[in-house]
Structure 1
Amino acid sequence: MAQAAEPSAATSNTGMKEARTPSAKPSRAPLPESVEQREGAAVAAPPSFYSFSQLGDHLWTVRWELAAVGGAMAVIGFRDWGWGDSGFRFIEEGWFAKNTRHGGMDKIGHAFSTFVIADLLTDQIRANAANPAGAQITGSLLAFGIMGLVETLDGFAGKHRFSREDIAANAVGAAFSMIRNTVPGMREKLDWRLMYTPASYERPGITTSDAGILPPYERQRYVMALKASGFEGLKNTPLRYVELHAGFDARGFEKKERALGYPIERTFYVGVGLNLNEILFGAGTLPNFAKHRDTLPARIARKTFEYIQVPYTAVYGGNRFSTIRR
């Protein structure tokens, strides 16, 4: 036992000497290869490139949103657009000329619808996908595909038919969403919105004449809103609550308007509006609902104000052009 204890004491003394030596460092046993690989995989950043595996992940992430959009389109298509009431036919509709069917409102409507669908899908992918890189690409591609299918089914509707111009308009909406969600700060600065104009904005007699689910063209106005709150030098000033607007609508193209004798009018608007999201949910000095901004009702309201222009929250000056009586 005495002999066994001596090496132990020697080892202890040696260890104390080594511990007092400044250059001594504790050794680290190498991890098994599998553990190091697992640790490396845990801290590795996700790839930033776009791939088919990402596309599959993104599709799975928004499967319920795609089902909801498809169901809504089917209801509107069969109820209001007359899908299936004729054989497949093409139509040349033109763009914004005075001899077109809707003065270009249908083309803006296609682009805007594609843009909104792309934005909503992009947001869901970014929030829920395992690898959200390229979410704006997937969102825009899906929206363009959905609206392309809608246009194909329009080819089987006697009052609509398949329009190449509508496909081009869909591409514009998808591209705008992709750019807006790719360029840093652009989404904070620029909104594209639809206003459902109240009767006081219109001439007497213009109402929801076709009683469809969507607002008719004679009650629509489209607005681009440039938000001061998105600019670094203005977001902490009272100007954060202000927007600059540019808008467009067309009147006198629909059957009821023609029956009432209204002239063809296309109008550009410029104006100044209130940023409702900033007023209600921003971090400024005004008392508001900022502390509730992440609740479900607040998220719904914020998303609505991003795409819907509320009447009487802006002042416009309009310039009508090509006023023609049929």
Structure 2
Amino acid sequence: MRVVALVACLAILGAALRPEVSLAQPSAASEHRSVPRAGGQHAGPQAGASATTAPATTENLEPPPVSPTFSSLSLLGDHLHAVRWELGIVGAAIVTVGIKDWDWGNGSGFQTIEEGWFSKNTRHGGMDKIGHSFSTFVIADLLTDRIRANASDPTGAPITAALVAFGIMGLVETVDGFTGRHRFSREDIVANGVGALFSIFRNTVPGLREKLDWRIMYTPASFERPGITTDAGILPPYERQRYIMALKGSGFETLRNTPLRYAELHVGFDARGFERRERELGYPIERSFYVGVGLNLNEVLFGSGPQPNFARYRDTLPGWAVRKTFEYVQVPYTSVYHENRFSTVRRVGGTFRD
């Protein structure tokens, strides 16, 4: 499933429907700023007894990661109510893509399929499985943010968001079972679960969000061999996708005040030669791992370093939208990689040859 790009964009639009709610993420700079007191004075060691007993205010407008538990159905209902607009937009986006790209509405009896995982005789070389995981992760991650921003009690937000995202993607897979083209795949359900669990992990381990991003890179046509063009559908084809884990220097205290805060370490995967157009152009089947370094665009644009940037706009709605986009999307030509092709197979007469 390639629901990521449209879901991410429309989920951000969903947030825009509620501009009165802060979309700010806690930043390293805000965590260390002093908090002004009434009259422009700053609290200090000579403050009176009343100041020592008063609860400290904070500029962090989003709660820190909380324990991934919730205690009652009423809390779950509060979480769902907090993201009702976002869920409506995500649902509308998926239905639109389903009708346009996935043949929804061309009904047939319910069918299942054994698709496999990453082997050479699979349909997409595993790219579709990573796409399922990534899509579920993005939906869960965005919903986690919105629950934390809007719910009266955000306790367990990552669990609620992951369950909802897993349910949404499970429903998508079930509807696929009636199309006759895609069919229901148990492997896709497992992949959805992996994405949901990763979202919980990333949003509950303290500091992990600041250190680790999972992104998709979609390269322009000029990046690939001539002749590869986009599908007529809404979402991009698999043959120009690459999935990347990015470890960010800015997330580490020891690197935060050094130039390495702008750098990232990347590990990536893609598969080529599995799609029809690639076969027509003579692509060999290749599944590749990548390691490399990249530029942290969020740190360049919104970081608190000495260079002038847009840091003062980071907590506005446009700033939030840009920062979230760069959490999930790797911009082409902002990184360099060393490629390791761990298999190269050519199809000859419908069979495979090493």
- The more displaced of 280-289 and 80-89 is 80-89
Aligned: 1:56 with 2:77? yes
Question: Quick one: which of 288, 297, 314 aligns to 1:276?
Answer: 297
* Distance in 2 of aligned mates of 1:215 and 1:320: 23
Q: Which amino acid is the alignment partner of residue 57 of structure 1?
A: D
Equivalenced residues, count: 280
Q: Secondary structure at the match of 2:134?
A: helix
1:298 to 319, 332, 344: 319
Q: CA deviation at 1:221?
A: 0.6
- Show CA shifts across 1:144-168 (max 9, x none): 0000000000101222100000000
| 2:119 corresponding residue in structure 1 | 97
Cα deviation code 1:44-76 (max 9, x no counterpart) = xx9974321110000000011111011000011
1:167 equivalent in alignment to 2:167? no
In the alignment, the residues of structure 2 paired with residue 323 and residue 272 of structure 1 have an alpha-carbon distance, to the nearest angstrom, of 25
Give the secondary-structure state (helix, strand or coil) at the position aligned to 1:181.
Answer: helix
Select 1:235's aligned residue among 256, 280, 295.
Answer: 256
- Of stretches 47-56 and 180-189 in structure 1, the one that deviates more from structure 2 is 47-56
Larger % of helix: which? 1
Q: 1:4 — aligned with what?
A: none
User: 2:272: which partner in 1?
Assistant: 251
Counterpart for residue 88 of structure 1: 110
Counterpart position of 1:321 = 342
| 272-281 or 78-87, larger mean C-alpha shift | 78-87
Q: Secondary structure at the match of 2:213?
A: strand
Summarize deviations over 1:140-191 as a string: whole Å, max 9, x none.
0000000000000010122210000000000000000001000000000000
For 1:50 and 1:117, the matched residues in 2 are separated by: 23
Q: Partners of 2:121 and 2:70 in 1: how far apart? A: 46
1:312 pairs with one of 333, 336, 341 = 333
2:310 pairs with 1:289: yes
**Which residue among 122, 126, 136 is the counterpart of 1:114?**
136
Secondary structure (helix, strand or coil) at the match of 1:325 reads strand
Q: Does 1:134 align with 2:149?
A: no
Q: Which residue of structure 1 lines up, in the alignment, with residue 245 of structure 2? A: 224
Counterpart residue number, 2:198: 176
AA of the residue aligned to 1:60: H
Conserved 8 A contact 2:70-2:76: no
Match of 2:227 in 1: 205
Question: More deviation in 50-59 or 177-186?
Answer: 50-59
Q: How many Å separate the matches in 1 of 2:283 and 2:70? A: 54
Q: Structure 1 CA distance, aligned partners of 2:250 and 2:75?
A: 33
Instruction: Point out where structure 2 has 5 or more consecutive residues left out of the alignment.
Output: 1-65, 348-354
Task: Tell me which moved more, 255-264 or 165-174.
Answer: 255-264
Q: Which of structures 1 and 2 has the bigger CA Rg?
A: 1
- Paired with 1:279 and 1:307, the residues of 2 have a C-alpha distance of 16
Residue 214 of structure 1 is matched in structure 2 by 235
Task: Tell me the distance in 2 between the aligned counterparts of 1:162 and 1:248.
Answer: 25
Q: What is aligned with 1:31?
A: none
Tell me which residue corresponds to 2:35: none
CA separation in 1, counterparts of 2:80 and 2:145? Answer: 13
Cα-to-partner distance string for 1:226-245 (whole Å, 9 max, x where unaligned): 00110111111110000000
Match of 2:98 in 1: 77
Is this contact kept in 2: 1:185–1:230, CA < 8 A?
yes
Instruction: Calculate percent identity across the aligned residue pairs.
Output: 76
Separation in 1 of the partners of 2:116 and 2:307?
A: 48
SS at match of 2:120: coil
Decide whether the 8 Å contact of 1:207 with 1:219 is kept in 2: no
Query: 1:124 matched to which residue of 2?
Result: 146
What is the root-mean-square deviation in Å for CA atoms of aligned residues? 1.4
Q: Partner of 2:266: helix, strand, or coil?
A: strand
Where do 5+ consecutive residues of structure 1 fail to align?
1-45
Give the residue type in structure 2 aligned to 1:309.
Q
Distance in 2 of aligned mates of 1:200 and 1:256: 15
Amino acid at match of 1:152: T
Following superposition, the deviation at residue 204 of structure 1 comes to 1.9
- TM-score, normalised via structure 2 length: 0.77
Which letter maps to 1:144? F
Asked if structure 1 preserves the Cα contact closer than 8 Å seen for 2:285 and 2:343, the reply is yes
